[in-house]
Structure 1
């Protein structure tokens, strides 16, 4: 009896070289999936942080850290009459001002300032200087701080045309003075300066100007130099 040749049964063969190729590929796939999950998590946290920051920051400034409101008045003014000098040499004045700085604090917590410096200027010329004492304003409260600014014993020399302009404006009841105040914060421990500018209109007599609102430029830092020596 003739025996028919049959094909040998196939056997399962594992190629170790193929396995070695597949294992790194699988690991790389897992790393990509892990990096993808981490990137998604970071993106979600970043987007949530942006939303929270964008919502809470305006609320913080509107409700909690509202900037203070300042106004100023000069209850007493003297010494604006010029003393003539030699012909063509201009003139000098020796002004003195009683200054009332009023502060309104709109935020819930108090504000404190170490001290400050103040200038009174006319047409760009400094005519008086003074120091502002340290003070605190309670939360949701107001306070008035009084101090003096003067030209000192030597007076202030002004060009003749500036003095003539001042005399003309005083007769017309339209003398324009600027009060600049530099305060140093104490409530946050930073000592950051705050610049306050106030423009006043004074009539031709010694009557004090009405209360004038001030512009607060708290985000602008001044140079470390003092306003006056």
Structure 2
């Protein structure tokens, strides 16, 4: 009588090859391809194409505002500054700012402020934007700051900081737009002429999901 051959179900299942499904393999391959392509293209875009802008400022007091401001006897000052913002666009496409605001401060105290008009800078180009920063109602400085300002003014070492915020997009109070902030320090006083251009430290938020951001 022939002997029956025993077959273990577990061995049969273990030796079965997984079924090859072309759609599933193709979709998985394409997802990996798109992911790694995105990883390579995004850094290239922001490193070589969407380069951040460069800004410089020139600050000049109007009239005798600087001398009056540096007088130790001045309990309240109302300075006016003429500011020229030099914008350099290193991107290949136009870059626009709808509006902005600026301020001049000494030792952390704001002594003048105002609005910055909107402007556009062509691709790989530059533009100068003039505007005024004023303090019409006057500002009172502590006595020790007035003394420090007068002493620094005499030796031409009065350091003023210009802060500017520019906005791309937006247009209303609820959505002012994507900000670009900058800080620019310049020395004045002592009869010396202010430098032609002072480089600014710029902080701009890049939009990683809006490739076409020529606002």
TM-score of the superposition, structure 2-length normalised?
0.76
Aligned residue pair count:
198
How many angstroms apart in 2 are the aligned matches of 1:75 and 1:91? 22
> Does 1:162 find its partner at 2:145?
yes
Which structure's CA Rg is the greater one? 1
The answer for the alignment partner of 1:195 in structure 2 is 181
176, 181, 185: which is aligned to 2:159? 176
How many angstroms apart in 2 are the aligned matches of 1:101 and 1:146? 6
Counterparts of 1:81-92 in structure 2 under 5 Å? 81-82=68-69, 91-92=75-76
The answer for the alignment partner of 1:100 in structure 2 is 84
The answer for the alignment partner of 2:211 in structure 1 is none
Q: What do you get for the CA RMSD once the two structures are aligned? A: 3.6
Alignment gaps of 5+ in structure 2: 207-215
TM-score of the superposition, structure 1-length normalised?
0.72
For residue 54 of structure 1, report the CA deviation from its aligned partner. 4.2
Alignment gaps of 5+ in structure 1: 1-7, 221-229
* Distance change (3 Å), C-alpha of 1:190 and 1:126: closer
* Distance change (3 Å), C-alpha of 1:29 and 1:216: farther
* Distance change (3 Å), C-alpha of 1:25 and 1:212: same
CA contact (8 A) 2:156 2:192 kept: no
For residue 209 of structure 1, report the CA deviation from its aligned partner. 3.7
How many angstroms apart in 1 are the aligned matches of 2:96 and 2:49? 15
CA contact (8 A) 1:203 1:209 kept: no
